């Protein structure tokens, strides 16, 4: 048994792509098991940048990759991604994977525009696709690659979707059922070669002693159940999502790596207790290049939040941390949120209700600014004392060891602790 999962411990964009790429070298298979092309994983190798939405980050290392049942897949986006990728891709897609249809994207945008409390979604059709899956109105990969079934399903679902869009949002589809069928049928024919039972293949691979790396998308506090609902995504980025998303038992996972950015960012709306404004936010945003990979939106920026991280450890059971973007904090006066005070009560964890969060006063611990030259760092010992203090405080407070430290976008800017 050797399953490892890489999870975003905050609001997404922690640098999972880079960490997955780093770990993929030792893996045989890399699997995406939830989310869709709302994710954007950026990987830099020798100054060449790769941006991935659907493809698991293991493709860059030429590994076998799998898209599991818990993913929602937009085949139009996947086609672009495959075309842009110059190497041959060794991939299978689970027949149960749900397909994002054009009406999902139109509905996602229409709902966002019509709502007074918009979520700030990526407008990639993620929520509507997962909703149709739960409603049992979805089209799966097995349907996409079966011409007759695809036609039947589109003819059944399209009129209902189009009418609802027109009546509720005055935005009917700008494509006919026939146009959608033609486009998707073409893609289905192209992608039928990727069909494979991911659950079965992973299980066999693990039985044979192969190393399987599961690449999470989004982050813990965007989890549909345990995130800052309703400002969440529609899948389960917490570690339990691996079992339901990939069709494997939870006892096949050995390591659960939490990716933690040295500070916090969030794209889209929703609570963010340690959010910074003004010059400091601008400085970190600029130094950290904190703009969304998928939508280009500037990310909201804040300090590291230990009540959030302790809660993230509870939800995910992290066996270790991979800490990213340490370089961004160089020369910046630093603080870490250590607890919240709500009324007279001091709490060490992230409250489940947004109402409590709004009332929370945050207690911080200050740290001396640190500095280092990334090119001089070859091992953990090369970091100055101030950096070690910052990192060891996080370990102590979360009771999880930091094992990987990333201090630059390139694969080489990484050390093990
Ligand atoms: P959706 O997943 O497009 O429905 O968006 C729901 C919320 O999750 C919004 O706040 C998005 O900004 C956020 N979100 C979705 N995917 C990502 C991601 O990969 N990184 C960070 N935030 C994301």
Q: Which CATH number fits domain 98-193: 1.10.300.10, 2.30.110.10, 1.10.10.10, 1.25.40.10?
A: 1.10.300.10
What pLDDT was estimated at residue 143? Answer: 98
b (16+ CB within 10 A) / e for 375-403: eebeeeeebeeebeebbebbbebbebebe
Residues 22-42 pLDDT 10s? 999 999 999 999 999 999 888
Token pair for residue 336?
């870490």
Q: Give me the pLDDT at residue 1, please.
A: 54
Which ligand 1 atom is at minimum distance from the Cα of 108? 4
Average pLDDT, the chain: 95
Buried b (16+ CB within 10 A) or exposed e, 138-172: bbbbbbbbbeeebbebbeebbeebbeebeeeeeee
- DSSP code of 113? H
233 lines ligand 1 (CB under 6 A): yes
Q: Provide the phi-psi class of 19: left if phi over 0, else alpha when psi is between -120 and 50, else beta.
A: alpha
Q: Hey, how many other C-beta atoms are within 10 angstroms of the C-beta on 183?
A: 14
CA of 121 to the centre of ligand 1 (A): 6
Atom of ligand 1 nearest to the CA of 217: 19
Contact assessment for residue 9 and residue 316, using Cβ atoms and an 8 Å cutoff: yes
Protein residue with least CA distance to atom 5, ligand 1: 121
- Tokens standing for 227? 């995130």
pLDDT in the model for residue 45: 80
pLDDT in tens, 65-105: 999 999 999 999 999 999 988 888 999 999 999 999 999 99
Ligand 1 centroid vs 16 CA: distance in angstroms? 14
Cis peptide before 230 (omega within 30 of 0): yes
Q: Write the residue with the smallest CA distance to atom 19 of ligand 1.
A: 39
Options 13, 94, 132, 413, the catalytic residue = 13
**Is 129 near ligand 1, meaning CB less than 6 Å away?**
no
**For ligand 1, mutation pick of 218, 220, 230 (most atoms within 8 Å of CB):** 218
Reply yes or no on whether 104 is catalytic: no
pLDDT of residue 46: 79
CB 32 within 8 A of CB 68: yes
Confidence tier at 51 by pLDDT (50, 70, 90): confident
Atom of ligand 1 nearest to the CA of 121: 5
The set of residues, in sequence order, having a beta carbon less than 8 Å from that of 370 and lying 6+ positions away, is 329, 330, 331, 334, 384, 386, 387, 390
Given the residues 21, 41, 74, 236, select the one marked as catalytic.
Answer: 41
Q: What percent of the chain has pLDDT over 70?
A: 100
| pLDDT, mean of residues 329-344 | 94
| The pLDDT of residue 129 is above 70 | yes
CA-8 nearest atom, ligand 1? 20
Q: How far, in Å, CA of 321 to CA of 205, rounded?
A: 26
Ligand 1, pocket-test mutation among 233, 266, 301, most atoms within 8 A of CB:
233
* Ligand 1 pocket check for 72: Cβ under 6 Å: no
Q: Is ligand 1 within 6 A of the CB of residue 39?
A: yes
Return the closest-CA partner of residue 315 out of 226, 242, 395: 226
Nearest CA to ligand 1 atom 1: 121
> How far is Cα 28 from Cα 352, in angstroms, rounded to an integer?
38
Question: Pick from 109, 378, 349, 402: which is nearest to 221 by CA?
Answer: 349
Check: CB of residue 303 under 8 Å from CB of residue 266.
no
Work out which ligand 1 atom sits closest to the CA atom of 297. Answer: 12
CA angle 52, 55, 56 (to 5 degrees): 100
Q: Which amino acid residue places its CA nearest to atom 8 of ligand 1?
A: 233
> Which of 10, 19, 15 lies closest to 305, judged by CA?
10
User: Mapping DSSP to helix (H, G, I), strand (E, B) and coil, where does residue 257 land?
Assistant: strand
CB 13 within 8 A of CB 302: no
Its pTM stands at 0.96
Does the beta carbon of 218 sit less than 6 angstroms from any atom of ligand 1? yes
Give tens-digit pLDDT for 320-332.
999 999 999 999 9
**How many whole angstroms separate alpha carbon 411 and alpha carbon 112?**
37
Mutate to test the pocket of ligand 1, among 35, 77, 119, 122 (most ligand atoms within 8 A of CB): 122
Q: Is 13 a catalytic residue?
A: yes
State mean pLDDT over 312-318.
98
Mean pLDDT within 248-268:
96
Tokens matching residue 234: 């529609």
pLDDT in tens, 174-210: 999 999 999 999 999 999 999 999 999 999 999 999 9
Runs of H (alpha helix) within 208-360: 241-246, 278-287, 306-316, 354-359
């Amino acid at each position: 048994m050797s399953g490892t999962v890489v999870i975003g411990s905050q609001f997404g964009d922690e640098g999972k792509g880079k960490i997955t790429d780093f770990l993929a070298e030792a893996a045989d298979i890399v699997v995406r098991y939830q989310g869709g092309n709302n994710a954007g994983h950026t990987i830099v190798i020798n100054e060449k940048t790769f941006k991935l939405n659907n493809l698991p980050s293991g493709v860059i290392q030429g590994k076998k990759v799998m898209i599991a049942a818990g993913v929602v897949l937009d085949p139009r986006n996947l086609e672009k991604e495959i075309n842009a990728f110059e190497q041959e891709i060794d991939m299978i897609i689970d027949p149960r994977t749900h397909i994002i249809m054009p009406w999902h994207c139109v509905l996602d945008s229409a709902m966002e525009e019509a709502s007074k409390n918009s979520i700030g979604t990526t407008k990639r059709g993620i929520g509507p696709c997962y909703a149709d899956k739960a409603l049992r109105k979805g089209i799966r990969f097995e349907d996409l690659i079966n011409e007759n079934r695809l036609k039947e399903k589109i003819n059944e679902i399209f009129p209902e979707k189009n009418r609802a869009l027109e009546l509720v949002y005055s935005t009917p589809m700008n494509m006919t059922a026939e146009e959608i069928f033609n486009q998707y049928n073409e893609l289905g024919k192209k992608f039928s070669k990727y069909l494979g039972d991911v659950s079965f293949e992973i299980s066999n691979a693990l039985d044979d002693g192969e190393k399987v790396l599961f690449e999470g998308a989004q982050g813990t506090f965007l989890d549909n159940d345990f995130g800052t609902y309703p400002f969440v995504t529609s899948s389960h980025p917490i570690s339990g999502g691996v079992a339901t998303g990939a069709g494997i038992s939870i006892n096949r996972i050995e390591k659960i790596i939490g990716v933690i950015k040295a500070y916090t960012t969030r794209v889209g709306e929703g609570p963010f207790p340690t959010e910074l404004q003004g010059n400091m936010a601008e400085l970190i945003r600029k130094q950290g290049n904190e703009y969304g990979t998928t939508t280009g939106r500037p990310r909201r920026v804040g300090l590291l939040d230990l009540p959030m991280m302790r809660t993230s450890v509870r939800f995910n059971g992290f066996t270790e941390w991979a800490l990213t973007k340490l370089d961004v904090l160089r020369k910046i006066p630093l603080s870490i949120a250590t607890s919240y005070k709500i009324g007279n009560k001091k709490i060490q964890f992230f409250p489940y209700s947004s109402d409590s969060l709004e009332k929370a006063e945050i207690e911080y611990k200050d740290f001396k600014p640190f500095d280092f030259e990334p090119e001089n760092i070859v091992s953990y010992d090369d970091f100055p004392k101030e950096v070690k203090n910052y990192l060891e405080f996080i370990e102590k407070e979360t009771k999880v060891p930091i094992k990987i430290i990333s201090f630059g976008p390139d694969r080489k800017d990484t050390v093990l602790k």
